[in-house]
Amino acid sequence: MANGKPLNAPAHTTGFAAWIDRRFPIASFWKTHITGYYAPKNFNFWYFFGSLALLVLAIQIVTGIFLAMNYKPDAAQAFSSVERIMRDVPWGWLLRYLHSTGASMFFVVVYLHIFRGFLYGSYRAPRELVWIFGCMIFLCLMAEAFFGYLLPWGQMSYWGAQVITNLFSAIPGIGPDLALWIRGDYVVSDATLNRFFALHVIAIPLLLLALVGIHLIALRTVGSNNPDGIEIKAQTDENGIPLDGIPFHPYYTVHDLWGVAVFLLVFCAIVFFAPEMGGYFLEANNFIPADPMKTPTEIAPVWYFTAFYSMLRATTDTFKIVLMAALGAISAFGMLRARRLKHKLAIALGAALALAAMAVTQAKFWGVVVMGGAVLILFFLPWLDRSPVKSIRYRPSFHKALIMLFALNFMMLAALGTHAPSPLLNALAQTGTVLYFAFFLAMPFWSRRGRFKPVPMRLTSSH
C-alpha cells in the first residue's frame, strides 16, 4: 500500500475502483486483454467472423434459456410445447425464430471463420493450439446442433436422430451397445429426448464456453494473425509495443461494431421475413409431430451437415473398393519415401491390417469413418501445410486455385446432400469426397511447390 492505494492496482484507479481491482482485477484484465492488447493494423473483412461467432453464441445462450423455461422434454408434450411457445407464450415465436436462425447463422460465420484460416495460414506456427482448440469448438458445435435438432420432436427431428444414432451400430463389436447407450432405448424415445435435452442445455454449452475461453486465451498469448501472415511481435519499439500493431480497443471494438450492424440487419431480415429459409433452416416435415410409424420420403440432415452427409452416403460397397485402392497407393508411396527398413515394414503391416479390416466390414461403417475423418483431418492441417509462407497473398496462383476448388467442392457436397440420391448425384458425391481428402493428403507436396512472392518485413495496408 502506497499513499493509500493498492500496489497492484493500475495507475489510473483510485478509491472504490482500486479496492475492487485489488480483490478482482477487472481493470488489470481490461488493460491486459483489451486496451493493452495490440492487434495487427491491417485486419480486413475476413476478421469480422470471430467476433460475430461470439455474438451468435450469446444470442443462442440467451434465447435458449428462455425457450427452456417453456419447453417440455417429454415425448408426449415436446411438440405441443413448441407449438405453445410459438402461439401462446408472449414473444415466444420471436425467441424460437431467433434461436433457429441463430443455429444456422452460427455455422455460416464459423465456416467463413475457418475459411479465413485457410486463406491466411492462421493454423501455422505459433498458432497450432489456437487452431486445434478452434477445431474442438467446431466439433462441440456440431454435437450441440445435433442434440438440439431432436428437441422440436417433429418428423424430421425424430427420423434424423434415428438415422444418425443407428450409424454408431455399424462400428464393429461395440456398435450396437454404443447406439443403445446413446439413445437410452432400442429406438429414439422419451429417454433419448431427455438425455439429448440435458446434453444440449447443460453439458455441451458448458464445454463450448470453456473451449471458447481457452481458444481466446491461446490467441491472446501468441497474438492474432493478419492478411500478410507476418508476426508483428518481431518488430517492436523501445517499449515493446509492435510497430505494426494498434490497441484492440477502441480501434477494433468500433471496427467490429460495423460488422455487427450489417450482420444484425441480415439476421433480423431472415428472422422476420424468411425464418424457414425455404426449408433449409426449418424443414416442412418438422412442423408435423413425430410419428414412429410413418417414415418421411427423404430423410436428410439440416443444411450445415449435408456436406458430411454426402460423404457418408457416397460410401457404398463399390466406393469402398476405391478407398482400398487409394489406401494401397498411399501406403506404397509411403514405403517408397521411407528410408529405414523398419519404417517400411511398419507401413506395410499397417496397410495390410487396414485393408483386411476394410474387406470384412460393412461399407456403412466406412461411411462413418469417412464422415468423421472429414472433420478430424482438420486437426492435422498445421503439419500438412509445408508452404514457406502463410498468407495466400504470397503463394503461387495455383495454390489460390486449389483453395478455391476446395471451397467449391465443399459447397457442391453440401448441395448434393440436400437432394435425394441418384446414380449421377452419387457419382458426383464420390468424386467430391475423393477431392476433399486429396486436398489434405497431397498438401505436404503441393503446398511447397511453385514460385512464392517475397514476404515484406512490415505489414502492408492493401486489402
What residue numbers does the annotated binding site for heme b cover? Answer: 99, 113, 200, 215
Q: Are 21 and 36 in contact (CB under 8 A)?
A: no
Task: Give one DSSP letter per residue of 170-188, joined into a string.
Answer: GSTTTHHHHHHHHHSSSSS
Q: Are 100 and 270 in contact (CB under 8 A)?
A: no
Q: Are 129 and 167 in contact (CB under 8 A)?
A: no
Q: What sign does the CA torsion over 4, 7, 13, 17 have?
A: negative
Burial pattern 129-152, b for ≥16 Cβ within 10 A else e, equals: bbbbbbbbbbbbbbbbbbbbbbbb
SS3 (DSSP) at 154: strand
Give CA–CA dist 110/141, Å, rounded: 10
Task: Give one DSSP letter per residue of 12-44, joined into a string.
Answer: T--HHHHHHHHHS-HHHHHIIIIIT-EEETT--
Which residue, among 93, 78, 121, has the nearest Cα to 384 in the 3D structure?
121
Question: For the chain, give me the number of helices (H) and strands (E)?
Answer: 19, 2
Where helices occur in 242-362 by DSSP H, the ranges are 253-273, 306-314, 317-337, 341-360
Give CA–CA dist 389/27, Å, rounded: 38
Return the number of other C-beta atoms located less than 10 Å from residue 71's C-beta.
21
Rg (CA), the chain: 25
Whose grid coordinates read 509445408?
386
Amino acid (one-letter) located at 256 = D
What does the DSSP 8-state code read for residue 168?
G
Which residues participate in the annotated binding site? Answer: 99, 113, 200, 215
Those residues with Cβ within 8 angstroms of residue 155's Cβ, 6 or more apart along the chain or in another chain: 285, 286, 288, 289, 290, 291, 294, 296
Which long-range contacts does 319-328 make (Cβ < 8 Å, 24+ apart)? Answer: 319/363, 319/430, 319/433, 320/358, 320/363, 320/366, 322/430, 322/434, 323/358, 323/366, 323/370, 324/355, 324/358, 324/359, 326/434, 327/351, 327/354, 327/355, 327/358, 328/355
